[in-house]
Every structure is written in C-alpha cells, then in structure tokens.
Structure 1
Amino acid sequence: MSEGPLLTAAGLRVSFPGRRGGPPAHAVDGVDLEIGRGEIVALVGESGCGKTTLARALLGLVPAERGEVAFDGAPLDRTARGLKAYRRQVQLVLQDPRGALNPRHTVYDAVAEGLRIHRVGGDERAAVAEALSQAGLRPPERFLLRCPHELSGGQLQRVVIAGALALGPRLIVADEPVASLDASVRGEILALLLRLRDELGLSALVVTHDLGLAWNMADRVAVMYLGRIVECGTVEDVLTAPRHPYTRALLSVLPESREAPVVLTGEPPDPARIPGGCRFHARCQVLASGEAERAGVADRCRTEALTVLPGAGVACHWAGIGAQTA
C-alpha cells in the first residue's frame, strides 16, 4: 500500500464537443488534485464551473482527454475490468436520492444491488443489515422491506449511502449530498459522513456550492472556477483567510460574513472560449478597482495563466503564493 495520497489527479482535462461545430468546451481544464487517506475534501464553486464533471472524471464515468488519475499509488486501469474493480473502492453518492433509487425496489434490494453486481460472496442479508446500521438506519430490520415512497428524504439518502457502504469502499464521491434535503436533516447527514470518516477511515470528495457545508465537515477545500482549481488549502486557511479574489467574493455574500458583499459582474466566460491570462480576470474586483495595477501585476493577470499545486496554493498573481505558471 502506498503511503501517499489515496487519490491523485494530475493535469486532468475533460472536453465536450462544441455547439454547431464550434470549438470544444473545456469543462475540466488541467486540474491537479489529491485526496488523502481518511480526509474529506470539499470541491466548491459556482454552478457550471466543472465540479460535477471533475467528480465523474475521477470516477472514470466520463473519459479524460488528457491527464492521469491514480488510486492508492497506481494509475487508474481504464479497462472494463479495471474500472469495475476501482468503482468497488470508490463509490458515488448522488444529490437526489429519489432519483437514485428504483421506486419498485425494496430497501433490501437497493442496498444489495452493488453486492450482486460485484458478485460479493458471503451472507448478503448480514452485509445489507450492517450497511444500513452504519448509515444510521437502526434497527435495520425495520427498513429492509420498505419501499422508497415510505421513507423520508433523510432516510432515502441514508439508504443511498448504505448502498455505497455495502461494498466497503475507501472513498466516497458525494455530489451535493444534502442539497435536496430539509435544513433540519442536513446536519444529520453531515454528521453521518464525519462519523464514517472517523470510524471507518473513509475518505470523501464532497461536491458542493455551499461554503457553510465545507466549513462544517471538510478538512481541505478546493475552489473551482471555469474548469480549474483556483485555490486549495485547509478549511481554516481558505475560509478564514482566502487569498483568491473569487474565493473572497463567494465568502463575502454569506450571511455571517463581516466583509462587504462583492457582486461579481457578468457571467463566467464560455468554456469553449476561455480567455488568456487568469481566467477570472474579466470579473476580478481586484483588477477592476486598480489594486492589481498598483501592485504591478495587472498585465500578468491579463496575459499569464496560473495553476495550483495539488496540496495547497492559489492561482492568483495578486496573491502570489503557491502558484506556478500553467
């Protein structure tokens, strides 16, 4: 077993065909990212920034145009057999549990599905009951024969999580895992993910637009903008002392923020027509205010692209720490 990160992405790029013969859209454009053993990483950013595409590329669900994914120190085997073995160890938890579950299947069948696909031997009923118990559905016997329409939203999400846990994964990729839940239930699911990390040593990549969620559960935060990670570091570093102007803008509109709200002008650029230089420069409040000009980096902001080192850093000439030329 490798002693390094559990999962590593290097130079990952995912593109989609352009509209009406136009240039391709680079949804993920040269991303470096790592997830440690027993670590929860929150991937945050505006809708459309590439978070979900990156998550699916890490799972091998969408093909990467270039770049590498490594798990436990070994490159991802993209053959059908290799991907099947990999997905037993890296499980996806979707945003909408009602959409993820077959309404005609009982809870038992939903949780046992992965065991059957991967032909896991042993006592199936015991494995399903253990997974339900780990997901907080106790006693599990109360839930085995229920159908999705008989359960609450929080219980449904626990069933989805139990289906992932049944295979004994080492990493969970959770795409907006509490976005469809009532506020009263969100805390319970977040507490569950933290408990699974502490008790099982489970790692997680949590895709979210909610910085409050990242603060409450993550060890590290990666901020994504227009297909790239623009800032990455510990929760304390990124969310209490953000360096990238984009991260500062996202945090400024939170209700508990003490900073004046920063209103970003315009929409993110078209991923098929990414501008040169820092890809945030057209919306950057530091550049617009003249602060970057006074710091002597305005021209570099407009012409020189940066990327972030996998563990921590910021892709910003003005912040200027931990970045390297792309």
Structure 2
Amino acid sequence: MSDPILSAEDVHVEFEARRGGGRARAVDGVNLDIAPGEIVALVGESGCGKTTLARTLLGLERPTSGRVLHRGTPLAYTSKALKRFRRDVQLVLQDPSGSLNPRHTVYDAVAEGLRIHGDVPNERERVADALSRAGLRPPERLFLRFPHELSGGQRQRVVIAGALVLEPNVIVADEPVASLDASVRGEILALLLRLRDELGLAALVVTHDLGLAWNIADRVAVMYLGRIVETGPVEKILTAPEHPYTQALLSVLPDAPGSPVVLQGEPPDPTRIPSGCRFHLRCPVLASGAAATAGVDGACRGEDPGVLAGGTAVQAACHYARAVSSSTGQAAAARP
C-alpha cells in the first residue's frame, strides 16, 4: 500500500458515562490506514464506536490518547489547522434532509463550503462543476430549487456536491445510503466508485451493512465494542472471515449459506469492557466448546487478543482463529 493519506494511530476516545460514573471507552485502541484512492468500509453493530471513530478522523472529536495523521503529519487542533484539514477531508452524512438547510437553495448549499473558506473566485463555475460531478446535470436547472423540491437521491447528490466543491482528497461517508430507497442506493454507490476512479478520492464508508461493503469497498474493518477485531481485503473478509463476530454478521445476509447465527445478549457496557476477548460473552465458538477443544477457552476469557495493526494485512483479534491458523500451518509444513 502507498503511504496512507489518513490514519488513526492507537486512538482511544473516552467519555464520561451518563449513569453510574466511570468512563465509556467508545474507541479503545484503533489503528486504521486509508490509502489514496482506497475505499475502506468500517462495519459493525450500532453502538460499536464506528461513528465516534469517524468523527475523530474528521477532527470533530479529539482523541483521549493516540493521534490522527493526515499525509503522515499529526493533526493539530488549532482553529487554523482544522480549517485547512477540513478542506481535504469532507463528511457526507446519512440523512440528506437533515444535512441541508430547508431555507437554502441548492446553489447556496453547495457554495457554503467555499464561502466558509473564503474561496469565492469562480464560485458559480465551481458549484456547477461539483453538481455535475455528483450526477446532477444540467446543474443550472437546480440552482434555485430548495431541498423539498428534490427527490431523496437528488438531495444526497447535493450533499455529495457540497463535499466535492472544496476538492477534498478524502470523504468520510456515514451510512451514505441508509435513508434512501433501494432503487436509488445503487446509483449513489456507483457515484462514489466513479468519483474514486475519476478524482482519486479516498473514502471511509461507515455502515452496518456488509452487503454495501461488498459492493463498494476495497478493504473492510470490522469493529466491535470500540476496537477493530478483523480487517483485510473485502474478498477475503466477506468470503472467508476468521472472527466469529464477522461470521455472525455475514450469516444474516440474504445469500449467506447455512442458518443465521443469532448472537445472545447485547454488547457489553463500554464502561465495563470484559476481560479477555471482548466478544467472549457472546461468542458462539466459545459457547459450542470448539474453543475448549482447541485449548484456547482460558485465553478467550482471560487474555486480551491485542490491538490490530494498521495496513492492508489480513488480521483477526481472535485466539481461536489464531490457534486454527497455527495448527493448519503446522500440518501443511509437516506434509512431505
């Protein structure tokens, strides 16, 4: 992989718990690299820390510890540095209706970023170009329309145009098609892929939908209870996942073979993360006795499998997966 354009380096983000005291570890040690022109899907259940990590990569949350790097340089949190950073790293939210001011025309919505950054020369031309790149042609016919006059797909394209007008090199898209009809989702995903190919844009796509990840991502990072537990190229992770959590998420997709894996209970409270593997309380491999057969049940309950490194390597934070991989590798080495 080329040098990352955006990275999280051992990032932790903690918040004061609303009830009962203590601190909630929303992000609990994450390394994540995004290369130029690469689309990374960050997937997991609601509440696993995906959005907090995305906000931290955008500079909207400051890490409790660790750091965010842009083009290899640690992010500074001065107003001037953040303003410069946000020209290059733009956010696309899941709800275009909530992202657009109902009193602003399409033109004003797209031009807003240019005006905030004092970058108004050739404003009309740049707004038109951004709308065209977002698939709204001819752009001039939309300039004076208001959000309520547009379809959901058109509104999402306007939001994307508002990000593109500043010519960023990274887009962070938080559930970019969750609020859209199924017939429109494919169009927006195709648009993101085309922007990557034409402009070299990198993207972090935050989603709970592994099907979406399959259609758009180059690489997948699976998050559980504040930590990435499996990562690798999309084909590997979505066809041969090693972590039981990833396997459970995949099992409920419509075309998945076998029966869905129903996880017991809810994710633990982030103020009281369990010892050992943070997934062990819900792990079907541990519950079935397979981990005991492999001799790792004690490790599952008592030893932290550790924080995964960044980069493109296939990694899984799972004692059982490592034991199986090790025994398979030893068996292969023993063959004549």
- Contact preservation (8 Å) 2:2, 2:35: no
Return the match for 1:316 from 307, 315, 318.
318
SS at match of 2:52: helix
Deviation, structure 1 residue 260: 2.1
> Residue 47 of structure 2 aligns to which amino acid in structure 1?
G
Counterpart CA distance in 1 for 2:291 and 2:9 is: 30
Identity %: 71
**1:210 equivalenced with 2:204 (yes/no):** no
Contact 2:26 / 2:52 at 8 angstroms: preserved in 1?
A: yes
Count of residues in Structure 1 that have an aligned counterpart in Structure 2: 321
Instruction: Say whether 1:279 aligns with 2:281.
Output: no
Which of 301-310 and 33-42 deviates more? 301-310
CA contact (8 A) 2:88 2:168 kept: yes
What is the deviation of 1:3?
5.0
Tell me the residue number matched to 2:329: none
For residues 125-204 of structure 1, what are the structure 2 equivalents within 5 Å? 125-204=124-203
Q: Where does residue 38 of structure 1 map in the other structure?
A: 37
Q: For residues 21 and 30 of structure 1, what CA distance do their matches in structure 2 show? A: 23
C-alpha distance after superposition, 1:194-241 (max 9, x if no partner) = 000000000000000000000000000000000000000000010000
Off by >4 Å, runs of 4+ in structure 1: none
Aligned to 2:334: none
**What secondary structure sits across from 1:136 in the alignment?**
coil
Tell me which residue corresponds to 1:74.
Answer: 73
Q: CA deviation at 1:21?
A: 5.1
Aligned to 2:64: 65
Q: What residue in structure 2 maps to residue 114 of structure 1?
A: 113
Amino acid in structure 1 at the alignment position of 2:320: W
| CA-based RMSD | 1.3
Determine the C-alpha separation between the residues in 2 that align with 1:18 and 1:77: 27
**Is there any run of 5+ residues in structure 1 with no aligned partner, and where?**
none
Using the TM superposition, give the Cα deviation of residue 255 of structure 1 relative to its aligned residue in structure 2, in angstroms.
Answer: 1.1
Instruction: Give the match for residue 307 of structure 1.
Output: 307
Q: C-alpha separation between the residues in 1 aligned to 2:92 and 2:34?
A: 17
Structure 2 equivalent of residue 237 of structure 1:
236
The CA deviation string for residues 164-197 of structure 1, in whole angstroms up to 9 with x for no partner, is 0000000000000000000000000000000000
TM, length-normalised to structure 2: 0.94
User: TM-score by structure 1 length?
Assistant: 0.97
Q: Which residue of 2 aligns with 1:288?
A: 287
Q: Which residues of structure 2 form unaligned runs of 5+?
A: 326-336
Q: Report which stretch shifted further, 195-204 or 76-85.
A: 76-85
